Amino acid sequence: MNGIQSKLRCLKGDITAMDTDAIVNAANNSLLGGGGVDGAIHRAAGPELLDECRTLGGCPTGEARLTKGYNLRARYVIHTVGPVYSGTEKDALFLESCYVRCLELAVANGIKTLAFPAISCGVYGYPIDEAAAIAVETVRTFLDGHPSIEQVVFVLFSQEYLDHYRNLLGH
């Protein structure tokens, strides 16, 4: 495995249980909780996460915000808002931006290990094959210029999603 490839992993599991410096939340624009990964992270982190999110004033699509992790094993939660899939070119640009903004926040805050869900692939309808390709390529490219990040784990909730990431990562 080359240097970048050794920093990338994927697994099937529960992102709220990850023991990384940060986990990424596939949030909605309000940052005030929702379903799927977002709801699971808010439930696991406890009510303090919602209290902190209320102070942030939301988050535009393609951007990211950092909060504490509260009752999670992760010290931080990086909230990002992926695009609702529409089949247009802007979807890919917004999704790529989500990964880049999360990684930029990680570098700026000394975060060395982080876990990503499959952003926009749940209720936002992004096809897993397209989304996984964007995620893996964007993260690989970013890590090439940012050696301070030691590990990125893609935490997937289904075998189907895991298989897409394994194929892309060569695992």
Complete domains list, the chain, with CATH = 5-169 (3.40.220.10)
| pTM of the entire predicted model | 0.96
pLDDT reported for residue 66: 98
Range 66-93 average pLDDT: 97
Residue (of 78, 84, 121, 124) closest to 100 by Cα position: 78
Range 145-154 average pLDDT: 96
Residue predicted with more confidence, 104 or 33: 104
Residue labelled with tokens 């692939």? 121
E-assigned strand segments in the chain: 8-12, 22-26, 64-68, 76-80, 113-116, 151-156
pLDDT tens sequence across 1-55: 467 888 999 999 999 999 999 999 999 999 999 888 999 999 999 999 999 999 9
Q: Please report which confidence band the pLDDT of residue 72 belongs to, taking 50, 70 and 90 as the band edges.
A: very high
Q: Any idea which residues carry the catalytic annotation? A: 38
Residues 23 and 155: their CA atoms lie apart, in Å, by 10
